[in-house]
Amino acid sequence: MTTSTQPEPLVAPPGLAGVIVADTEIGDVRGTESFFHYRQYDATQLARDVSFEEVWHLLVRGHLPDAAELDDWRSTIARNAVLPSDLAANLVEVMRRSASDDPLVSLRTAVSALGALRGDRPLWDLEDQEKELAAIRTAAVVPWLVTAARQVRLGEQVRDPRPELGVVGSYLWMLTGEEPRPEHLRALGRYLCLTIDHGFNASTFTARVVASTGADLSACVVAGIGALSGPLHGGAPSRALDALDEIGTVENAQPWARAQLAAGQRVMGFGHAVYRGLDPRSELLRETATELGGATAELAVEVEREVVRVLDEAKPDRPLRANVEYYAGVVMQSCGVPRDMFTPTFAVSRTVGWTAHILEQSRGRKIIRPSSRYVGPPPSQPVPTVEERQSGASPV
């Protein structure tokens, strides 16, 4: 009798927590250090000092662009942000026929339709330059797709992009119909840069799994959107702002937090799956919200202080601090972004991160195919006949 020399597969912890599943050059999250980076740069420093387009270039092409490269890169994005009129009209009709109250449902439908109407080819069949162009063409049009879907749902006129305003300015224009103010461009640009990528989160990993099959780029992005649509992943900015509304005044902050803990509820906007302490994105967004000013920003800062006191008292062994979602809603609302567009705005930036990961994954030629552990009944039982199944009797 021969014995198998194949090693037993390792059993991963639930959620693959702490398991390294791939190598990447795009970035990393160091949760215990409250630090994350895009390639060789501190991500929060990038968000503070450079434009969204420059970070996009860094993720896709591996370096920050010089002046000439940046002009060419912005021109490439601008060309692809505006769809041919017939394609735009077809997509608007798709949105009209499939209108949903959930913006991410509309977005994934629109991206799928975009890929079909463009005739996307499998990544497996494309050269590197063709893959990059497919990535840019998709990510560049997502700002229009999310705003157009909302306007169709509300019965409003769909606004065309204005690429001369840049990605952030054009998005704000399409969303609000108003000329974007400099402080709003700066604030929303910071938010988008901070959320463009964040390690192997659920949606990024999902997009990479699909990319490993050689599927077309739109299919990979749709998969990422599907993962993002889950309430455990992308839906928290509006919920954190809803919690601020519920609290109302700083005096209510501690009683509210204690009531949430007593009920076993999550304290929205606090704690993170990776960070064991400060979320560096929250620190820059707190600063940004304070710069924008307003009653909501002032309340958010005061409530954060009081809620942290309650959390420190209740969970002294695990510091829970404000996460990116806590101030994200405050910043976006101050910039004129409606609450129902908080998560789609997140998708505008994260699509760029997804496409960078999709490109990186597509350079490999091996499908992601983990094993599972079967925990059902042993497979040695005889198959029951129809009569035995009907009577409930077990076969001998």
Q: State the sign of the Cα–Cα–Cα–Cα dihedral 95, 97, 102, 105.
A: negative
CA distance 169 to 218: 25
- Interacting residues of 158 by C-beta distance below 8 A, sequence separation 6+: 92, 147, 148, 151, 152
Q: Which residues are catalytic?
A: 272, 325
Under DSSP, the state recorded for 201 is -
Alpha helices per DSSP H over 267-385: 280-292, 295-314, 324-334, 342-362
> Which ranges of 119-181 would DSSP assign to H, the alpha helix?
128-154, 166-176
CA angle (315 as vertex; 309, 321 as ends), nearest 5: 55
The 3-state DSSP composition of the chain as helix, strand, coil percent (nearest 5) reads 60, 5, 35
Kind and range of the H or E element at 75? helix 67-81
Q: Is 30 helix (H, G, I), strand (E, B) or coil?
A: strand
Is-contact 250 299, C-beta < 8 A? yes
- One-letter amino acid at 201 equals N
